[in-house]
Chain A
Amino acid sequence: MSEMTTEILEQNLGKIVLVRLKGGKSLRGRLKGFDQHLNLVLEETEDTTVVENQQKLGLIIVRGDNVVLISPPPR
């Protein structure tokens, strides 16, 4: 994508991040890898869209064009 996104995501490698996707899904997982499209490899991933029913997804790849935002979690 650009040097800026690469730099930011490198700072978050190995950390738990919160990812919002198009369509309204929210994911929380450990950032294992990424590329210039913002494709992501997340491990220990959970679908946190529905607070009462957080689904474990484990190791996943997210396609970059679905990503709306990436944030280190509130804490």
Chain B
Amino acid sequence: MSMMEPSKKPLNVLIKQLHGNIEVVLKSGYEYKGKMIKCDGHMNILLEGATECKDDQLMTNYGNVLLRGNNILYIILDANKH
């Protein structure tokens, strides 16, 4: 682990996407797309203009949303390309 370049560590890769559009998929199956305004060492994420989807169906539009990191399954970093 100590050999890994710091810039390749997951949380550092995440920080590089600040102010970009990302998609966060939770263990529950819910997906949140939005602009990542902030994140921290727990992988807590603040999304701006977030939309909530489940099974590819739009559920809710939010303003800002604070997601608690422990619920995250994975994060799609290049959400613009899809």
Contact = CB atoms under 8 A, between A and B. Distances in A.
Categorize the interface residue count of chain B: 20 to 34
A4 interface: yes
A55 interface: no
Contacts of A4: 38-40, 44, 46
Interface residues of A, number: 19
Contact of B44 (A5, A22, A72, A74): A5
Contacts of A71: 50, 62-66
Interface in B31-82: 32, 38-42, 44, 46, 50, 60-68, 70-71
Interface of A: 1-5, 8-9, 22, 24, 38, 64-65, 67-72, 74
Interface of B: 26, 28, 30, 32, 38-42, 44, 46, 50, 60-68, 70-71
